[in-house]
Chains A and B, each alone.
Chain A
Amino acid sequence: MARGEIRLIGLTKRFAEVTAVDHIDLDVAPGKFFSLLGPSGCGKTTTLRMIAGFEQPSEGRILLDGTDVAYTPAHKRNVNTVFQNYALFPHLDVFDNVAFGLRRAKRPKSEVRQRALQALELVQLGGLEKRKPSQLSGGQQQRVALARALVLNPSVLLLDEPLGALDAKLRKTLQIELKTLQREVGITFIYVTHDQEEALTMSDRLAVMNGGKVEQIGAPQGVYEDPETLFVADFLGVSNLMDATAQGARDGRCRVRADTFELTAGSGAIDVTGPAKIVIRPERIELESREAASGPNRLPGMVERLVYVGSAVQVIVRVATGEALQVLVPNTGKALPYEQGTPVQVHLPVEALRVLAVDEAGEPGPAEEAALAEASGRD
């Protein structure tokens, strides 16, 4: 029997003239860490709030383990939330905060005490029961919020950008902790974030949202390596978008012409013809010396600048088509054989070069821009 499976069917939410969530369909398998990723205003928080029960959908169904809960009041759903600003009750101490849900469920006192203390141990906050939320640090407050939600053994735990208010180092630590916790506890996590790195590191599966719609769903690797739309390609990492004209498929690959250069794209919308975009991830581009032997998928270029980011170096190369590509070169400790102004040859390996059709939902049109701006107030 599935426990903690969520299915969204045609879920829609309209606020006045703005459609914040537009007929989305989503399946979240039980026990998985699932992320909703997207920019401000894309509808991810609204979707989460509808699953929690704080917003009533305009249309659609929310199936929790097979039962439609879309019109069930929030306090009757077996779903719990960790809020962005934690929403810890300021007038109660840590213990009473964590025990709140158990007391509402009228559990016997001894059980309340045992489970609450257990939950605090789980998030490594044992010993702080008597403190008030205002006396805790941000990280500690977040853990209390987590404990408060988990202690009720919900089928699904919803997390609304819980790490947003914390500094980078703490965020990284807590990301690992949350992931470990989720595996330990086995509850389905639905995690909302705008930080793509966070989503990629923590999720089993993720959905990229934009303008109220789901652009792509899949495992992190799939979404990153094989983006299906321009938006997804651009939102996750650097995409190195280039304009090109597709000339149709041959031998399972797509021939494209970028400026005056003929290239072959090994993945993506192979059968497309006409105006298109090609994308390639920065870590897949290979830089070769100008004198090296030429070959397919190679463009002449010049190093424009180098940006040192610690573990790697970003090399910005201006290629002969006029565009600037970002190449990521891991820091091996050895000096790089080029510097600003060096002419190079840029190799775009066929398997790494991906072609995308240009009229797919990617660039927001003017109406959508306005809707995004309005809805971003609610996200």
Chain B
Amino acid sequence: MYRRWLWPGFALPGVIWLIVLFLVPFYTVLAVALGTVDPILFQAVPIWNPLEWNVGWLNEVVHRLGPGGNLTDVALRTLEYVAIAVGLSLLIGYPVAYYIARLAGRTKALLLILVIAPLWINYLMRMLAWVNLLAPDGYVNRFLTYTHILSEPRDWLGGRPSTVILALVYGYIPFFILPLFAALDRIDQSHLEAARDLGASRFRTFLHVTLPLSKLGILGGAVLIALPMFGDYYTPNIVSGAAQTTMIGNQIDFYFHGGPQPTIGAAITIVLAAFLTLLMGYYLWTIHRSTGQERTT
């Protein structure tokens, strides 16, 4: 196996593709965000030389996102929605993942298939399903009025934050359950038996053994759904047409398709990407630290 150029040669088409159609596009976003706008045609003028980059628009966007800007609400709202949605996903998802991983016995395979299937069902179809159900004459309203929980049908799709958050949970929770399941499934039964053997009750075993061991799985699942959720624009658009529930993704969408002002759109994208990189970095650092700790113990 001495041919030194054989294996890099194999990798070459893929690497070239990713450079041309992944790295170059990212650089283009930077070039546009840090570029200028043609005053006559209102078109973005990208600047390719880093030394000539114009931070004007980026600054503008950062100001708008900061306190007092007109994008502040959206930014805060996005944070709020994502935080609540991830929290709810954890609340619902953890027991489900735990049950399937550790207690399901004979139904484990079946439950696994049922939990994985939504991952492959089109996201928009799942949202469509809820739009049908939440329509003024849909099953949800009919059920609630029939059981007299509500006196009259409620407008679920008219711009309610709770609808958007619940839709986000519905849409993303399968992506949370799966890695969490994998982490919980991997926990060696003998650890738990050792704890029980040493006198810990079922609950305390969970608290002091299972939970800490699944922490990385929780973090991984949370990051896995938070990252795309921050960029989500279609969910608010589908289950709520209103301006008061828009997320940061909607702003990017607007500046590209509504305006269009691609320079601002690109700038917001850069800020979002930077924020998400920090999030990802935090996750990787936590993993690195914990595996380091494992080695020393």
Chain B residues with CB below 8 A from A54, complex form? 1
Taking CB atoms and an 8 Å cut-off, the chain A residues in 275-326 that contact chain B are: none
Chain A residues with CB below 8 A from B2, complex form? 56, 71, 73
**B3, closest chain A residue (CB):** A73
A73 to B4, CA, bound (A): 12
A56 to B2, CA, bound (A): 8
A74 to B1, CA, bound (A): 7
Chain B residues with CB below 8 A from A73, complex form? 1-2
Shortest CB–CB separation between residue B171 and chain A, in angstroms?
42
**Chain B contact patch, size range:** under 10
Shortest CB–CB separation between residue B1 and chain A, in angstroms?
7
**Chain A contact patch, size range:** under 10
Chain A residues with CB below 8 A from B1, complex form? 54, 73-74
Chain B residues with CB below 8 A from A71, complex form? 2
A33 to B246, CA, bound (A): 80
A54 to B1, CA, bound (A): 7
Taking CB atoms and an 8 Å cut-off, the chain B residues in 6-21 that contact chain A are: none
A251 to B22, CA, bound (A): 85
Shortest CB–CB separation between residue B2 and chain A, in angstroms?
6
**A71, closest chain B residue (CB):** B2
**A75, closest chain B residue (CB):** B1
A73 to B1, CA, bound (A): 6
Taking CB atoms and an 8 Å cut-off, the chain A residues in 341-368 that contact chain B are: none
Shortest CB–CB separation between residue B175 and chain A, in angstroms?
35
A73 to B6, CA, bound (A): 14
Taking CB atoms and an 8 Å cut-off, the chain A residues in 15-54 that contact chain B are: 54
Chain B residues with CB below 8 A from A74, complex form? 1
Chain B residues with CB below 8 A from A56, complex form? 2
Shortest CB–CB separation between residue B4 and chain A, in angstroms?
11
**A74, closest chain B residue (CB):** B1
A176 to B1, CA, bound (A): 35
A56 to B4, CA, bound (A): 13
A71 to B2, CA, bound (A): 9
Chain B 35-49 interface mask (CB, 8 Å, partner A; 1/0): 000000000000000
Residues of A within 8 A of B (CB): 54, 56, 71, 73-74
Sampled A-B contacts (6; CB under 8 Å): A54-B1, A56-B2, A71-B2, A73-B1, A73-B2, A74-B1
